[in-house]
Amino acid sequence: MADFTMDKGADGVAIITWDVKEKSMNVLSLEGWDALDALIDEALGDEAVKGVVITSGKPDSFAGGMDLNVIAKMKEAAGDEPAKGLFDGLMRCHGILRKIERAGMDPKTLKGGKPIATALPGTALGIGLEIPLATHRIFAADNPKAKIGLPEIMVGIFPGMGGTTRVVRKLGAIAAAPILLEGKLNDPKKAKAAGLIDEVVEDPLAAAKAWVLGAKDADLVKPWDAKGYKMPGGAPYHPAGFMNFVGASAMVNGKTKGVYPAAKALLSAVYEGALVPFDIALKIEARWFTSILMNPSSEAMIRSIFINKEALEKGANRPDVPDQKVTKVGVLGAGMMGAGIALVSAQAGIEVVLLDQSKEAAEKGKAYTASYAEKGVKRGKSTPEKAHAMLDRITATDDVADLKGCDLIVEAVFEDIGVKAEITKTVEAVVGPDCIFATNTSTLPITELAKASARPEHFIGIHFFSPVEKMLLVEIIKGEETGDRAVAKSLDFVRQIRKTPIVVNDARFFYANRCIIPYINEGIRMVKEGVAPALVENAAKLVGMPLGPLQLTDETSIDLGVKIAKATKAALGEAYDDASDPVLFWMAEEGRLGRKANAGFYAYDEKGNRQGLWDGLAAQFPPSPEQPSLVEVQHRLLFAQVLEAVRAFEDGVLTDIREGDVGAILGWGFAPWSGGPFSWLDMLGAPYAADRCDALAATFGARFACPNLLREMAGKGATFYGRYGGGAAAEAA
């Protein structure tokens, strides 16, 4: 059935209803465009039709936007000359929207058009707002849960179906900035206050119909189509607009660190569009939008951050066993991690038993949820009733017997094999035989820990990141004997608490820490070599890392770094690379343990605010007069991570590159613009990446040696996504 249908009423108002049957919220497909176009033609051509209302068949939403799967494949589908295909396609869409906007009026007299209004039952995002923006009046239901806006920038693109051009011309550059550059979403009332929509009413369809029947010629003319239009707030070379535009480039540049092409393109479309008539501005918007769709970064971001993230959340790698939804979880240890796990579980409606050695300690862990809930109520994000119910779901106890009835245990006690073994045995004796036992370890091997379990097939690792309530990724680790049901249970639990899972095999540091530790070490190592610490930190940020390696070390603490270094040295013996130890150990000796000590690689004031790099660092490890190039520093920092990701994939620790990419972005903020380590390597191309490895290895050491898989792919000109994009493991291909 068609996504759009039209019902011509006896009153002369044709109602076009958008209803994509197989989806809970409308998304626009390429066929959808055709259907809409045909109906608009029919309505404009039919003398009996006096006006049109476009609405949705969904009870509480208009549309969620363009189908991201369609956007992701648009370049591929655009033929041999993708840029031309995309541009022509975009111009055709602009043509359809412009037809709606002009509605058959005489372009000179601006008379004789048919009024076209939109009735929004609720949420209208992306193209779901761009279509309404082309109509003559937008009515929205008074639905405070509805979100109205243009979130495209969050996906690595920008509003490219006229949204950019229309919103800027409607509101001016300054008022449009949060909507376009930040993707800010508003509820209907705020959207009206912002000038984005026209009316908030109880029954938008009835109001829209009434308006259509009463609309005059002048009501249909957009400001930019009327004579004497001036951009609100001033065009770029208007004295008022001048500084806004100068400032906007600086702000976007500083914020995006130059690595997100969409923001740049958006701003350019705004600037260039503001200097020309409306129809030419649309053409300019289409050219910049084409450049973004052609940009490998946008493609990779959409693929990892949306399509593959969603696929993983929906169980792409879930074994085929029945639903394992968790009803009662036992959390062992009410420290920071345990308290956080209890919080997110209770938030998801799961009953929680929070166990610690003393009742007092357990209550302290529960208090974490209480204070979180209180903040939520204060900020209007929750209600006292909800907060109360959430807190009531947590039983704080020091009695192991209270764990009876739990179908999942998440152990988060001290990182010590002996301590963990003991509690595993104690708890397994209390809970039922079907209960899955998960350990939240970040450093200890799961297979080793499973030896304490009477039911190793029910034993698994669920590695949370700190702070639990904020971090989006959960790493599920299979021990040698872990069974399918344990995996499914963990995945279903992660889905309940609305996080994104990756499933990896058991090996030192699993996946995330395995990649992040070399990043930190490489940064510290450079300081020792005499690279300016500021260059190390800035180079990381300028390649899209959220924190430089030194700041990250301060956040995670120097003593943890020392502990990991010592443990790794003990495990690896001769093979251990101790290059960063002198810096790390010296810092620890100096008592500069990081943020928690208010002293680390950075200096902090007494309130704990970071001031700047500690000058003692440069005194101990003076920067050399000759500094390396920015790109060299960036390549060292990135290759240190991505080569570890490739090795993890080669070793079978990681079995799906999609997990490798999504996990890297969500787990440690790996350069999101790149789409993740494997996407980045694809962007570089295997031959170039292999050459860079060789060059880095020759200068800086064997840790940059090209992995065999990458070397083999370079020889064949293969790409990771071309070969493994469907989720195949390295050994399977």
Partner 1 sequence: MTDAYIYDAVRSPRGKGRKDGALHEVTAARLSAQMLNALKARNGLEGHAVEDVIWGNVTQVGEQGGCLARTAVLASDLDEAIPGLSINRFCASGLEAVNLAANQVRGGGGHGYIAGGVEMMGRVPMGSDGAAIAVDPSIAMETYFVPQGISADIIATEYGFSRDDADAFAVASQKRAKTAWEEHRFDKSIVTVTDQNGLPILDHDEYMRPGTDMQTLGALNPAFQAMGEVMPGFDAVALMKYPHLEKIHHIHHAGNSSGIVDGAAALLIGDKEFGEANGLAARARIKASAKIGTDPTIMLTGPVPVTEKILAETGMEIGDIDLFEVNEAFSSVVLRFMQAFDVDHAKLNVNGGAIAMGHPLGATGAMILGTLLDEMERADKETGLATLCVASGMGAATVLERV
Binding site for partner 1 (CB under 8 A): 236-237, 239, 242, 245-255, 257-258, 264, 267-268, 270-272, 532-535, 537-539, 542, 612-613, 623, 627, 630
| Shortest CB 556 distance to partner 1, Å | 21
Give me the least distance between CB of 523 and partner 1, in Å please: 14
Instruction: For partner 1, give the closer residue by CB, 13 or 540.
Output: 540
d(CA 642, CA 519): 9
What's the min distance (Å) between Cβ of 269 and partner 1? 9
Task: Give the shortest CB-634-to-partner 1 separation in angstroms.
Answer: 9
* Measured distance between the N- and C-terminal CA atoms of the chain, rounded to whole angstroms: 39
* Catalytic (active site) residue 463: yes
C-beta of 272: minimal distance to partner 1 in Å?
8
Minimum distance of partner 1 from residue 263's CB (angstroms): 9
Q: From the candidates 382, 442, 521, 679, which is the catalytic residue? A: 442
- CA–CA separation, 524 and 558 (whole Å): 11
Output 90 or 248, the one with its CB closest to partner 1: 248
- State in angstroms the smallest separation of the CB of 271 from partner 1: 5
Question: Each residue of 575-589: b (16+ CB within 10 Å) or e?
Answer: eeeebbbebbbbbbe
CA distance 330 to 405: 9
Residues 6+ away with beta carbon under 8 Å from 123: 25, 60, 61, 62, 63, 64, 146, 147, 148
Task: Tell me which DSSP letter residue 222 carries.
Answer: -
Task: Name which of 299 and 537 has its Cβ closer to partner 1.
Answer: 537
Q: Between 122 and 548, name the residue whose CB sits nearer to partner 1.
A: 548
Token pair of 495, please?
């889905």
CB closer to partner 1 out of 79 and 247: 247
b/e per residue 318-329 (b: at least 16 CB within 10 A)? beeeeebebebb
Helix axes 512-529, 581-589, angle to 10 degrees: 80
Q: Is the dihedral of CA 562, 563, 564, 567 positive or negative?
A: positive
Name the catalytic one among 513, 521, 580, 679. Answer: 513
Name every residue whose Cβ is closer than 8 Å to that of residue 405 and which is 6 or more positions away in sequence: 328, 431, 432
Of the residues 101, 130, 285, 475, only one is catalytic, namely: 475
Query: Which lies closer to partner 1 via its Cβ, residue 258 or residue 725?
Result: 258
- Candidates 136, 458, 463, 635; catalytic one: 463
- The answer to whether 533 and 630 have CB atoms below 8 angstroms apart is no
* DSSP track, 480-536: TT--HHHHHHHHHHHHHTT-EEEEEE--TTTTHHHHHHHHHHHHHHHHHHT--HHHH
Bridge partners (DSSP) of residue 475 are 463, 502
Is the Cβ of residue 210 or residue 259 nearer to partner 1 in the bound state? 259
Mention every residue, 6+ apart, whose C-beta is less than 8 A from residue 733: 723, 724
To the query of whether residue 56 is one of the catalytic residues in this protein, the response is: no
Residues 6+ apart with CB under 8 A from 372: 343, 469
DSSP collapsed to 3 states, 71-96? HHHHHHHCCCCHHHHHHHHHHHHHHH
Q: Judged by CB, which is closer to partner 1: 193, or 630? A: 630
Query: Could you give the angle at the alpha carbon of 595 between the alpha carbons of 589 and 596, nearest 5°?
Result: 80
Q: Is 629 a catalytic residue?
A: no
Nearer to partner 1, 569 or 610 (CB): 610
* 239-256 and 173-181 helices, crossing angle to 10°: 20
Q: How far is the CB of 535 from partner 1 (least distance, A)?
A: 4
Question: What whole-number distance in Å separates Cα of residue 196 and Cα of residue 190?
Answer: 9
Nearer to partner 1 by Cβ, of 253 and 358: the residue is 253
User: C-alpha 19: how far from its chain's center?
Assistant: 28
CA-closest candidate to residue 181, choices 268, 72, 61: 268
C-alpha distances (whole Å) from 501 to each of 473, 550, 661, 664 are 6, 28, 12, 12
- Per the annotation, the verdict on 371 as an active-site residue is no
Least separation in angstroms between residue 328's CB and partner 1 is: 49
Q: Which residues belong to the active site?
A: 442, 463, 475, 513
